[in-house]
A and B are shown apart, each in its own frame.
Chain A
Amino acid sequence: MNNLLLLIALPLITAFLLPIIDRFSPLLARLAGPLVLLATSAIGIWNWTLLGEQAVVIQIGGFLPPLGIVFYVDRMALMFAIAVSAGTLLLWPDGAKDRLRQSTLSLILAAAGSGLALSGDLFNIYVFYELTAVVSYGLVVSKSNPSAFAATIRYLIISAFGAALVLCGIALVYQATGTLNLAQLAQLAPEKLDNPQGLVAFILMLIGFGVKAELFPVNTWVPEVYATAPTRVSALLAGVVSKLALIVIVRLLVLVFHQPEAQTVMLVLGILGVATGELAAWRARDFNRMLAYSSIGQLGIMFIAFSIPGQAGVFAGLAVALHHLIVKPAMFLLAERWNGSLANLAGAARSSPIAAVLFIVLSLSLVGVPPFPGFWAKLLVLVNLAEQAQPLYYLAGVVILAGATLEASYLFRVASSFYHVDKQQPLPSAPRTRDIMLASALTAGLVASIFVMSPLAEQLEGMAAQSSDVDYYIQTVNPVVLTGGQR
């Protein structure tokens, strides 16, 4: 199990050695990144088979908690760590110019993302979060045209604002409890953090981490960045990084902050996110920004799902998150050549019929048409919302359904224009073969999961049960009951 630390160490070392390797042998430098990510994905999958039913704790450096930093490896964390490595490998840069810089930054992103998924210490999470943020600034500015610079500096401003808010939240938490270890925080939370100070700390951390998770007030950077960044970087940000930030918030909500007001705040911000995201996507006139706003809407659905108390909420949220993790990068892969005005995409089915079919399948799943996985995920969210029997949760259900209607409208509007026959207009360019192959692999996985839906759902439910069990977390990290911090 200890070799899970290689998920962080190997990509970091390779990233910093890459310029030196490139000096001696460009071919080796070209291969080093994908090979390392292949190795880390393999290590992650091998550990998945070893993991079994129990969660495992890795004590970094042998220092015992709560003074040492621990990595808490349960199935949800390991799944997202594998998704980070596999996703970065799948979306590996292949441009000719500044390939070295993009490879280095992608490797560091893989390392920081794995750390974010696995870490069990609050400040360690903050450090990995900042590392992800800085690397994403470098990746987003890759195109080096004026609008990229402007979009990146605006993204940096709002992200730095969020990071400072997280720091204030951590300050409040440490001031109240004297510890940063998530397990000990979970132990001390009912007496020390169940007050306005705890609620303010949660809201600060929610908005701070929510910048990356595209939460409602702080997601103004999303359309600008997704329109000016290379499409594979947008796919990485939308697909992988946003889920990692969301998982961090969910860990804090489940383990530490049990107040109902915390869930209400997440619910309200999620509802606003769905409403604004879907409406803006409906009005969008170019492909990249339509996908960006759609991503905001889907993440709003995830926030609503995770704000449902108990295991059911985590199960529903995990289902939507896993589904979005596969669908959005596939759509962004298709958008590589199709970026630009939606009006220019008329007749795309003639230049690339496979890509058109892929887009239709992905849209059907995103909207939530049975038997695709997106239907089951949204159904889970709606059923659990209805079970809560409170007006705000009913409102969330109504907003999600209205959002699904809007999604159907703007996605099928584009899909039907693919088959529009207009002899005068030139055909849009076809996506590259490599992109089509990768998108087909993802879509094939999506369709294959229809046939294994029942076992998959049981696995996810087991994952949610394990992750939402606070006592199990505390018992796994420190089997001996610890006293509280010095206060």
Chain B
Amino acid sequence: MDINLDISLMIYIAAGGLILAGSAGIVLSTHLLRIIFAIALLEAGANLLLLLASYRDGTAVPIIVDDHIPAVMADPVPQALVLTSIVIGVGVLALALGLVIRVQRTYGTLDIRELRERMAEDIADDAGIGRPVSSHAPLPVQAPGVVGADANE
């Protein structure tokens, strides 16, 4: 049984799964914080995929210990790349969370659908044009008191 091949295949599947979970979270989530977490998942999956490029069967860690150089070493370059990438991801996530706090304070909601509507309205108001209204929007409902007043007369 080829155990090493299975391990590498399993980790490839794990990386693919993380990427899929992250992408699905970004596209399908409605809560802003869940989208940020999904970005973190996606970046973890991408980093894992990059790290898998350094995998070799039966190799040692690429570290020289006590002047003993391993005969066959794994590739150290992707590990350096992934370090850089993790740090970039941490910075971007920190900035994103700061923006989420600001959005919560100014809009009071973190629902991405409501945010899009209100942002569109704010942009239209700042530009001085009317709010975008669809011709398929339902007619405004009259207040019940008006009908009651008519009926009582």
Residues of A within 8 A of B (CB): 123, 127, 130, 133-134, 137-138, 141, 145-147, 149-154, 156-157, 160-161, 163-165, 167-168, 170-172, 174-175, 178, 180, 224, 227-228, 285-286, 288-289, 339-341, 343-344, 486
Contacts and interface: CB of A to CB of B under 8 A. Distances in A.
A153 B123 CA distance: 15
14 contacts: A147-B119, A149-B99, A149-B106, A150-B119, A152-B99, A153-B99, A174-B77, A174-B78, A175-B52, A227-B127, A286-B124, A289-B127, A340-B127, A341-B127
B153 interface: no
Interface in B65-85: 75, 77-78, 81, 84-85
Given A147-B122, A156-B95, A161-B42, A171 B107 contact: no
B115 interface: yes
Interface stretch (B43-51, B133-141, B143-151): B43-51
Given A146-B122, A167-B50, A168-B46, A161 B26 contact: yes
Contacts of B99: 137, 141, 149, 152-153, 156
Given A153-B96, A288-B127, A340-B129, 6 more contacts: A146-B119, A147-B119, A147-B126, A170-B50, A224-B119, A341-B127
B19 A168 contact: yes
B92 interface: yes
B107 A134 contact: no
Interface of B: 19, 22-23, 26, 32, 35, 39, 42-43, 45-47, 49-50, 52-53, 75, 77-78, 81, 84-85, 88, 91-92, 95-96, 99-100, 102-103, 106-107, 115-116, 118-119, 122-124, 126-129
B26 A157 contact: yes
Given A149-B102, A150-B118, A157 B35 contact: yes
Nearest to B93: A160
- The SS class assigned to the B binding surface is helix
Contacts of B115: 150
Nearest to A227: B123
**Which 6 A-B residue pairings sit nearest by Cβ, starting from the closest?**
A286-B127, A147-B122, A167-B46, A150-B119, A146-B106, A171-B50
A160 B46 contact: no
Contacts of A137: 95, 99
A258 B68 CA distance: 44
A167 B47 contact: yes
Contact of A164 (B39, B52, B126): B39
B12 to A, nearest CB: 10
Contacts of B26: 157, 161
B46 to A, nearest CB: 4
A134 B92 contact: yes
A171 B43 contact: no
A154 B120 CA distance: 12
A127 B89 CA distance: 11
A220 B134 CA distance: 20
B112 to A, nearest CB: 8
Given A157-B26, A160-B39, A167-B47, A340 B52 contact: no
A156 B92 contact: yes
B80 to A, nearest CB: 9
A150 B43 CA distance: 22
B92 to A, nearest CB: 6
Which of A149, A164, A165, A288: most chain B Cβ within 10 A? A164
Given A134-B91, A153-B32, A161-B26, A340 B128 contact: yes
A174 B50 contact: yes
Which of B39, B42, B75, B99: most chain A Cβ within 10 A? B99
A163 to B, nearest CB: 8
A344 B128 contact: yes
A95 to B, nearest CB: 17
A138 B98 CA distance: 11
A229 B88 CA distance: 24
Contacts of B43: 160, 164, 167
A341 B128 contact: yes
Which of A133, A174, A343: most chain B Cβ within 10 A? A174
A146 B52 contact: no
Contacts of B84: 123, 127
Given A123-B81, A149-B106, A175-B53, A157 B39 contact: yes
A315 to B, nearest CB: 34
A356 B34 CA distance: 47
